[in-house]
Structure 1
Amino acid sequence: MTVTWTQYRRARRRSRQAWILLAAAGLAVLGGLVWFFTAGQFALGEPSPQGPSEAPVLAAGWMKPVSAVRAVPEAPAAVVLDTLEVKGRSAKDNYDRSAFGQAWLDVDGNGCDTRNDILRRDLTAAHFVEGSRCKVTGGTFREPYTGHVIAFRRGAETSAAVQIDHVVALGDAWQKGAQQLTAQQREHLANDPLNLVAVDGPANQDKSASDAATWLPPNKAFRCHYVARQISVKAAYRLWVTPAEKEAMKRILTSCPEQQTIVPQPPR
């Protein structure tokens, strides 16, 4: 069979069109996959854009401030940061959690242990064990570190989903001045509502004893409050910061220069 030049050109044109259609389809599939895994149903580790920008400290009527080494200065967080001592870490090989007293003491004397105080403060519509005004059994909240809505249900298999984080980790505090505090001052640091936030369990485990130089909340909307809260705790308990930590805090605060320190006063 003899193929004319016209037929040859027509066949080449159809071939090019077919390849263009195939390439366009491939790009569409690739774009869909990118959306699916970054913004769609299976987005991995992506914080909610509606995540909270702050977290409470005290609840009126039943929570009381804990006596710190000194009052938190009321000023821009960046200004107070510049008043903190800057130096390297002390040794951690002698750190023991027991140096901060028994976990979840009732330091403020309201009759409930600190863990349940923080759950009651942070959860929406907290439920209690029948006959108890302290022991929280459930509730939901928009968690500040990830921005996700999380449900808390007390139980051996479920309680760890919501953990109480020390904003300034006790291991970090131990290496930055807490060794020089009295035993009572360390107890107060470990149970001060200023230093405690109910958070996503895996995010808390990921943070561990990190400072701002090595870990920040995935929810970017919360970072200014988080750094200001760390500065406030360190100022209240006369703890220092490392050079890298201070630099990381300053970098965050450049986006929110009006961010104030977090002062533990009951809401009115």
Structure 2
Amino acid sequence: MGISIRIRELFFFSLVALTAVGVGLALWPFISPQRSDLPWSTAINMDLNIADNLREVPVIEKREKIPGYKREAFGDGWARTSGPDLMALSAKYHCLLPTTRDLILATQFAVQPNDFSGAKSGRPAAQSCKFIGSIRDPYSPEIITAKKSDIDHLVPLAAAWDLGAAEWDPALRKAFANDPLNLVAVSAQHNRDKSDKLPAQWLPPDLGSRCWYARRLAAVFATYPLRVPQKDVSVLRQQCIFRKTTN
């Protein structure tokens, strides 16, 4: 009798523990690494429903390597920023965010003005922004600073080239390479480990980060004329299993 009661107790506590884990995974992985108080926050933090976003995406059997890829095909480095978003952010932080990279760092790190002379860089003398403090790496429990982070293209440029971008005009490739929807500051090591891999070959080491990662990837695939391998579609659909809307 004592053994039977003990088994029931163990079963009950195991069920409670699994339920707690499920609830936790159902909630916090949906949070985007970027803050929601910036001009493009609607695009980044929209309700990213994997099933809806993948419904109209062309599916192919597998990724085929397309010759001719080079980073310069997507523009010469990070684009220079301009327009009303830049004006709004410059006013908000009282400093300049000259490139897309700076804009992405501003979505994740604290920002302060920094005395800056443009003599060495060739830019006009102005007060640039500096990024301070540390954050939890979006891909792992590692703590990172802006100086030790890379800007990751969630859909890697080399992969995008193979999946359709080789056929795009240069302007669309440049826009893709600088779209905040496809960019996030992460651990440099994890960015390099990922390289140009798609989700069937690589997912964030932190299990709790995989849902938002899959949602963002699906949104990028839905936004641009890309074809997605069947294996990758299947993997993306499996990352948010605790929420009905993403099945």
Give TM-score, length-normalised by structure 2. 0.70
2:138 is aligned with 1:144: yes
Quote the offset at 1:89 in angstroms.
Answer: 2.2
**Alignment partners' CA distance in 1, 2:131 and 2:156:** 26
Give TM-score, length-normalised by structure 1. 0.65
Quote the offset at 1:167 in angstroms.
Answer: 0.7
Quote the offset at 1:142 in angstroms.
Answer: 1.6
**Alignment partners' CA distance in 2, 1:65 and 1:53:** 13
* Cα-to-partner distance string for 1:111-161 (whole Å, 9 max, x where unaligned): 6201111111111x2344315554435331122101322223xxxxxx3x2
Identify if the C-alpha distance between structure 1 residues 106 and 99 changes in structure 2 by more than 3 Å, giving closer, same or farther.
same
2:103 is aligned with 1:117: yes
**Alignment partners' CA distance in 2, 1:182 and 1:232:** 21
Runs of 4+ in structure 1 off by over 6 angstroms are: 72-75
2:205 is aligned with 1:218: yes
Structure 2 counterpart SS, 1:227: helix
Quote the offset at 1:65 in angstroms.
Answer: 8.3
| 1:52–1:221 CA contact under 8 A, matched in 2 | no
**Alignment partners' CA distance in 2, 1:108 and 1:196:** 18
Structure 1 counterpart SS, 2:144: strand
| 1:51–1:142 CA contact under 8 A, matched in 2 | no
1:83 partner letter: E
Quote the offset at 1:184 in angstroms.
Answer: 0.8
CA RMSD, Structure 1 to Structure 2 (Å): 2.9
Match of 1:129 in 2: 114
Quote the offset at 1:80 in angstroms.
Answer: 1.9
Match of 1:93 in 2: 67
**Alignment partners' CA distance in 2, 1:51 and 1:251:** 13
Match of 2:190 in 1: 203
Identify if the C-alpha distance between structure 1 residues 178 and 133 changes in structure 2 by more than 3 Å, giving closer, same or farther.
farther
Larger displacement relative to structure 2 (192-201 or 91-100) = 91-100
Instruction: Pick the structure with more helix per residue.
Output: 2
| 1:223–1:252 CA contact under 8 A, matched in 2 | yes
**Alignment partners' CA distance in 2, 1:118 and 1:133:** 18
Quote the offset at 1:108 in angstroms.
Answer: 5.2
Question: How many residues get paired?
Answer: 197
2:38 partner letter: A
**Alignment partners' CA distance in 2, 1:108 and 1:90:** 36
Identify if the C-alpha distance between structure 1 residues 134 and 235 changes in structure 2 by more than 3 Å, giving closer, same or farther.
farther
Quote the offset at 1:64 in angstroms.
Answer: 8.4
| 1:86–1:242 CA contact under 8 A, matched in 2 | yes
Quote the offset at 1:53 in angstroms.
Answer: 4.2
Structure 2 counterpart SS, 1:203: helix
Quote the offset at 1:58 in angstroms.
Answer: 6.3
Structure 2 counterpart SS, 1:197: strand
2:52 is aligned with 1:79: yes
Match of 1:236 in 2: 223
Quote the offset at 1:222 in angstroms.
Answer: 1.5
**Alignment partners' CA distance in 1, 2:186 and 2:208:** 15
Identify if the C-alpha distance between structure 1 residues 169 and 77 changes in structure 2 by more than 3 Å, giving closer, same or farther.
same
| 1:168–1:195 CA contact under 8 A, matched in 2 | yes
Larger displacement relative to structure 2 (87-96 or 190-199) = 87-96
* % identical equivalent positions: 30
